[in-house]
Structure 1
Amino acid sequence: MQRLRLLGPALAVLAGLAALWAALAYGGGAEAPLIEDPGAVVRYGIPVATMLRNLAIAVAFGGLVLACFALRPDGRDWQRTLDLAASATGVAAVAHAFVAFGAFRTVVTNPVSADDQFGGLLQLFFVEIETGRLLLGTLLSLALLTVVLLVARSAAAAAWVVALWAVPFWLIASGGHAGGTDNHTLAVSSLFLHLVFVCIWLGGLAHVALLAGRRDGDVDGPALLARYSSLAIVSFAVVAFSGIVSALIRIGDDWGSPYAVLAIAKTALLVVLGGFGAWQRLRVIGPLRAAGERVPGRALAALLAAELVVMGVTAGVAAGLARTPTPVQEVVPGAGSTPSEILTGSPLPPPFEPARLLDTWNVDPLWLAISAMLLFFYLAAVVRLARRGDRWPIGRTASWTAGVLLLAWCTSGALNEYQEHQFSLHMLVHMLLGMAVPVLLVPGAPITLAMRAIAKRKDGTRGGREWLLAIVHSKYLQAVGHPLVAAGIFVVSLWVFYYTPLFEWSMRDHLGHVWMVVHFVGSGYLFVQAIIGIDPGPARPPYALRIVLLLGAMVFHAFFGLTLMTGETLLVADWFGAMGNGIDALHDQQVGGGIAWSIGEIPTIVLAITTVVLWARSDKRERVRIDRAADRDGGAELAAYNEMLDRMGKR
């Protein structure tokens, strides 16, 4: 068993190197350029280092996610997993350093020296050129994560590190094939999703193979396999979706090209891995639990080792694919490009008209995947309650479903296509995301549903229920979720966003746009939760104060809208004013102010009406309670109150 645990990873690396060599030979990813050949060491070293980096990142990130979801924070296997994750992150940083320097040598083939001229070239590449900045940022983030992982050992610290991994993932995705050209949003979002969930899937598999067969560990093998299987199913679905999007972007119609063939080969390998996982879930985990076995047998250990070998081959093909020229050429907008192509990376869409709302799409894979998971897990929880005979109000399900669908449409529909080109439509998207979506999502009570549907862990590990409770009751969420704080964030951030460089950042950088959606949906959700929320959270204020908070929000929104309507200064003038769509940008901005004032207030009015109705129902319930208490004790409470008034009058 011990030999199988050690042999599997070694064979995976060797199989990956062999697959990488074959992919480079077939796809031409390591062929010498006609001008300024950096040498065979660089040409072959970059893909080898890329493969080792990707494997190390998968082991590090996949292990962290598995630890947070399936291991006890006070156990030996937790410490082993985090130690391995820290070591793997260090290996990834070293491998990426070679990737970064190799990328520099493909551009600058001057002899390596310690003089000022060579140093100036290094500085130019890693500071002034976007590709170099992304590579340097990835290296620094990996180095920082290595240091953090050496000291982070608590469950909360591990969870924060998992979140911090978004930084290198995003930087790597931004520097991938077509990361800075046409279809930028599709390319970066799909590659980001692909990287994250491939690492959860394949990296988690590596740790399962190392931990499941240990007799000196504290992990229950079948339970570990079952929990990993749940992660793998979700990861497989997202990887399949993001892989299809990536292939459509980069292959186009040339499905006979070497790039397309290698992409199909990689897909087939992922399907084989998915088949392994399905077989384990259906044929292995159940019998193991039924037999009461805590440690899997040699046959399963051999199967896991075989899976690791397939994983290594997949990583090798993926690294070779990353070096293979794509059929769809990456052409950076330059001379002869339209203003829209220079600013947004995409051609100018047709003039907007209401019919476009139904037949125009600009899919963002990131938000489409998030929306799909939000809807799937909610409906799965409702079905689980129904199967055990519990009821969940249909109105809550309908409200949540409508909110998720609206979120998906705002981030992938026609408005997402036009919001980059017209301020008025951008403001419409903003109002829907920040106000309409939360008003629909909050009544769905997702936390309450999760608490009822997800089983409580009793073995010291943390599952979905435990992590949700930890987040809801965290000091941070208690602070920002306080009604006064949530209201302040809701109204002040609107002004801060539009009258600071944050607005321009959200237009020029896809990361800024993602941040904008997260912030305004999140701040709107916290505000609505403080007013009409059902889920647990900070104590809600009396209904009278809730009405005051709503009226204050309406006043601030109206004042903001009037400021835009009467303003004569164009926001981000070198963006909206230079789009070349023939629209009067200042007039369009004033129309956007009208949208913020009028349409933007509709969800607030709905929220106010809902609050008044809840207030009336609360008063009715209180009157019923008082009447029932009076019937039980003969009006003792009222008599005591009158007696107190009499005593006060005699003084």
Structure 2
Amino acid sequence: MTTSRFRTVLVTGVVAGLAVLLLVVATAGDVYAPLGNADPGPMTTYGFAVVRFVADEAAAGCFGGLVFAAFVAPGQRDGGLSADAFGAARFAAGCAVCWLAAAVVAVPFSAAVAAGLPVAQALRPEVLLPTMSAATEPKAWVAVAVAAAVASALAWPAMTWRTVVGATVAAGLGLLPLVADGHASVGAGHDLATNALFWHVPAACAWLGALVALLARLRRRPAVPELLLRRYHRLSVTCFVITAVSGVVPGLVLTRSDGFVSRYGLLLAAEVVVLIATGCVIAAWRRRPDTSRVRLVGAEFVLLALGTGGSAALTVLVPPAFPNHPATAQEIILGYDLNAPQTAARLVLDWRPDLLFAPLALMAVAAYLVGVRRLRRRGDHWPPGRVAAWLGGWAIVLVVTSSGLGVYAPGTFSLHMVTHMALNMFAPVLLVLGGPVTLALRALPAGAHGEIPGAREWVASLLHAPVTRFFAHPAVAAILFTGSFYALYFSDLFGEAMQFHWAHQVMKLHFLLSGYLFAWVVVGADRTPRRLPHLARLGVLFAVMPFHAFFGVILMSKQTVLAATFYHYLALPWAGDPLADQRLGGGIAWVSGEIPMLVMVIALLVQWSRDDERRARRADRSGGDELEAYNAMLTELAARRR
């Protein structure tokens, strides 16, 4: 691909997407009155739309370019970056700088829209600061700016694969604040819509950004290695499937029964058509010769740029569900009603899938079983007990997040504590006993031709990374495991977090990760970067146990209700006395905390015993070898004397 053709494709895609956005804004009419807001004026409306489009394009270029550099472009065996990976990382760093600038500019624009004032007036400190304090979207743009700054700081000087992965994580986190504060986070069903968009937005950005990085690679050198093309095609197909499946839920939630009658629905239908057309391009991509592939890649980019413009336009329009289907107080807070009292039958049968954790659990189980099957096909053994532990751990995660337990958990503190303890203590113990890292190192294929690192080398590199060694330190793992209890529940953080769905998800994820980290350090079947003797691990376990008991006792003795404002707004008629329910939750934390601790003690003692047996067998073998060598020496001396 020549430089002029590369520029033509980029300009065509960007102009087409921007034209779609401006056309929708021009024909949308008053999009503020249905929401009860004042019109800030055309300059602010059009300016904010353009700034958001630039931010979306730059975010996709940053995140997708980093994904391309880390996982698509072939790397080097020593952990360095190849020429293709380095070029993609520098491209992503430039996009990160543009993303940062757009996010900074978007802060006063979002404040102006929230205040219903022109952006020139919103820039005044006496207007900007109070608006930022009261509104949530300006804060989300600040978080985006911070993530973009971190990504650019890591990506620009990056010379190693691990640094690029760190920048990728930072950029990926920067995609989520606007998801947590967008249209999907409001009204009935916002829990389903937001969780789906947590998959949808990163997949779409990775797809678009990696495609632009591939176009830039074709501009530099038309001849592309087959491995790079194969990896990109695998990435694009995966992103297409995730984008298509995850986009259905927020579309249904935000349109409801109005379907495609409204302007919002018509634009959503056009987005579906563009996505299907892009899927057809992907299907034809690998069946064409190299010359046709270049044209297909350009067409794919133009279609995705059109889709980006349509997505930005959807944020301008008012979803039909808002004015036509007013939400109740419980739906505003939780996304669904909890008028029916909790019963044993409802806790078991009333399932509402958590679209963040349920797909994660299913994918983790599927990947694990594929790895076990690969080992058994080549004749290697994998303990059935580890398979059972892994399946049991993810079954607990699925039940406490998607069954009636997960549905009713926000309504009462006692059920919240049940899910907390299950995610923090019960599930992690089983998951670490499954040995997923060992399975991955044994089942994943090595890099191509022994020179290009692949999935196995990536896992090994991350396992020995400095950040992994830091978090795997027993003191760090113990502090995160026990200290987060006190920091969360005995401060205002818990009360603030309970009011937002995204904060609920962050709490669940933190419970699961901190519990997994501590269990991995103490009883994990996988070796940690800082392997402790069994006696030291037993000491760490006994040192942590009292803190859980103290936590439960403190909860039972508190005279004030935690998150009282949240439970007051929720106003469940069947919830009963919140202070009594909180004391019940403290008792659950006290009692249930002892069971997994006991399981960890037993597992550690069994591991200790088996390790001693292995050492004894090795000593016996080495001792027999030494005796044979000693007898041979005596025989040789006797022969010399004779």
Question: Whole-Å Cα distance in 2 between the matches of residues 117 and 399 of structure 1?
Answer: 56
Q: Which amino acid aligns with 1:85?
A: A
Aligned to 2:639: none
1:609 aligned onto 2:602: yes
Matches within 5 A, 1:144-223: 145-146=151-152, 149-212=155-218, 214-215=220-221, 220-223=224-227
Aligned to 2:584: 591
Q: Which amino acid aligns with 1:87?
A: G
Matches within 5 A, 1:411-430: 411-430=401-420
Match of 1:63 among 47, 62, 65: 65
Change in Cα spacing, 1:110 to 1:403, as seen in structure 2 (3 Å) is: closer
Q: For 1:316-368, what per-residue CA distance to the aligned partner results, in whole angstroms no more than 9, with x for missing partners? A: 2222222222110169999xx65x56754653342112212222234332223
Q: Which amino acid aligns with 1:156?
A: R
Matches within 5 A, 1:73-472: 73-96=80-103, 99-106=106-113, 118-139=124-145, 141-142=147-148, 145-146=151-152, 149-212=155-218, 214-215=220-221, 220-257=224-261, 258-281=263-286, 283=287, 297-329=290-322, 338=329, 340=330, 344=334, 346-457=336-447, 462-472=453-463
Aligned to 1:9: 10
Contact 2:114/2:135 (CA < 8 Å) preserved in 1? no
Q: For 1:204-227, what per-residue CA distance to the aligned partner results, in whole angstroms no more than 9, with x for missing partners? A: 11211221463388xx43211111
Contact 2:424/2:515 (CA < 8 Å) preserved in 1? yes
Q: Which amino acid aligns with 2:254?
A: R
Structure 1 window deviating more from structure 2 (584-593 vs 365-374): it is 365-374
Aligned to 1:536: 527
Structure 1 window deviating more from structure 2 (419-428 vs 570-579): it is 570-579
Match of 2:549 among 558, 565, 570: 558
Aligned to 2:472: 481
Contact 1:92/1:142 (CA < 8 Å) preserved in 2? yes
Shift of 1:38: 4.8
Q: Which amino acid aligns with 2:89?
A: L
Question: Whole-Å Cα distance in 2 between the matches of residues 331 and 552 of structure 1?
Answer: 57
Question: Whole-Å Cα distance in 1 between the matches of residues 112 and 470 of structure 2?
Answer: 50
Question: Whole-Å Cα distance in 2 between the matches of residues 136 and 547 of structure 1?
Answer: 44
Structure 1 window deviating more from structure 2 (545-554 vs 410-419): it is 545-554
Contact 2:255/2:321 (CA < 8 Å) preserved in 1? yes
Question: Whole-Å Cα distance in 1 between the matches of residues 512 and 553 of structure 2?
Answer: 23
Structure 1 window deviating more from structure 2 (247-256 vs 462-471): it is 462-471
Q: For structure 1, which runs of at least 5 residues remain unmatched after alignment?
A: 285-295, 638-651
Q: Which amino acid aligns with 2:221?
A: R
Contact 2:154/2:166 (CA < 8 Å) preserved in 1? no
Contact 1:259/1:325 (CA < 8 Å) preserved in 2? yes
Change in Cα spacing, 1:332 to 1:462, as seen in structure 2 (3 Å) is: farther
Contact 1:180/1:332 (CA < 8 Å) preserved in 2? no
Shift of 1:246: 0.8
Change in Cα spacing, 1:552 to 1:100, as seen in structure 2 (3 Å) is: closer
Shift of 1:460: 6.4
Shift of 1:445: 1.1
Contact 1:178/1:330 (CA < 8 Å) preserved in 2? no
Contact 1:4/1:302 (CA < 8 Å) preserved in 2? no
Structure 1 window deviating more from structure 2 (559-568 vs 31-40): it is 31-40
Contact 1:7/1:305 (CA < 8 Å) preserved in 2? no
Structure 1 window deviating more from structure 2 (371-380 vs 620-629): it is 620-629
Q: Which amino acid aligns with 1:277?
A: I
Question: Whole-Å Cα distance in 2 between the matches of residues 430 and 141 of structure 1?
Answer: 28
Q: For 1:51-78, what per-residue CA distance to the aligned partner results, in whole angstroms no more than 9, with x for missing partners? A: 3332222112100111011333443333
Change in Cα spacing, 1:209 to 1:441, as seen in structure 2 (3 Å) is: same
Contact 1:96/1:139 (CA < 8 Å) preserved in 2? yes
Question: Whole-Å Cα distance in 1 between the matches of residues 32 and 538 of structure 2?
Answer: 69
Change in Cα spacing, 1:520 to 1:620, as seen in structure 2 (3 Å) is: same
Contact 1:68/1:462 (CA < 8 Å) preserved in 2? no
Corresponding residue pairs, total: 617
Question: Whole-Å Cα distance in 1 between the matches of residues 321 and 551 of structure 2?
Answer: 45
Question: Whole-Å Cα distance in 1 between the matches of residues 311 and 162 of structure 2?
Answer: 33
Q: SS of the residue aligned with 1:379?
A: helix
Change in Cα spacing, 1:141 to 1:126, as seen in structure 2 (3 Å) is: farther
Shift of 1:376: 3.1
Question: Whole-Å Cα distance in 1 between the matches of residues 464 and 455 of structure 2?
Answer: 14
Q: SS of the residue aligned with 1:350?
A: coil
CA RMSD of aligned residues (A): 3.4
Change in Cα spacing, 1:265 to 1:377, as seen in structure 2 (3 Å) is: farther
Question: Identity, % of aligned pairs?
Answer: 33
Change in Cα spacing, 1:46 to 1:89, as seen in structure 2 (3 Å) is: same
Question: Whole-Å Cα distance in 2 between the matches of residues 215 and 53 of structure 1?
Answer: 29
Contact 2:137/2:178 (CA < 8 Å) preserved in 1? no
Contact 2:190/2:253 (CA < 8 Å) preserved in 1? no
Q: For structure 2, which runs of at least 5 residues remain unmatched after alignment?
A: 631-642
Question: Whole-Å Cα distance in 1 between the matches of residues 382 and 259 of structure 2?
Answer: 48
Q: SS of the residue aligned with 1:326?
A: coil
Contact 2:155/2:167 (CA < 8 Å) preserved in 1? yes
Change in Cα spacing, 1:572 to 1:635, as seen in structure 2 (3 Å) is: farther
Change in Cα spacing, 1:41 to 1:215, as seen in structure 2 (3 Å) is: same
Question: Whole-Å Cα distance in 2 between the matches of residues 540 and 33 of structure 1?
Answer: 59
Question: Whole-Å Cα distance in 2 between the matches of residues 112 and 234 of structure 1?
Answer: 40
Q: Which amino acid aligns with 2:90?
A: D
Question: Whole-Å Cα distance in 1 between the matches of residues 103 and 242 of structure 2?
Answer: 25
Shift of 1:385: 3.2
Question: Whole-Å Cα distance in 2 between the matches of residues 378 and 242 of structure 1?
Answer: 23
Q: For 1:476-534, what per-residue CA distance to the aligned partner results, in whole angstroms no more than 9, with x for missing partners? A: 32233234543454334333332233333432334433332233222222222233322
Change in Cα spacing, 1:445 to 1:308, as seen in structure 2 (3 Å) is: same
Aligned to 2:28: 29
TM-score (norm 2): 0.85
Structure 1 window deviating more from structure 2 (628-637 vs 415-424): it is 628-637
Q: SS of the residue aligned with 2:220?
A: coil
Structure 1 window deviating more from structure 2 (122-131 vs 351-360): it is 122-131
Contact 2:41/2:117 (CA < 8 Å) preserved in 1? no
Aligned to 1:640: none
Q: SS of the residue aligned with 2:341?
A: coil
Question: Whole-Å Cα distance in 1 between the matches of residues 152 and 173 of structure 2?
Answer: 13
Question: Whole-Å Cα distance in 2 between the matches of residues 380 and 278 of structure 1?
Answer: 25
Contact 2:186/2:332 (CA < 8 Å) preserved in 1? no
Q: For 1:122-169, what per-residue CA distance to the aligned partner results, in whole angstroms no more than 9, with x for missing partners? A: 333334322333344434554564455444454333222222224432
Change in Cα spacing, 1:117 to 1:143, as seen in structure 2 (3 Å) is: closer
Structure 1 window deviating more from structure 2 (74-83 vs 434-443): it is 74-83
Change in Cα spacing, 1:456 to 1:136, as seen in structure 2 (3 Å) is: same
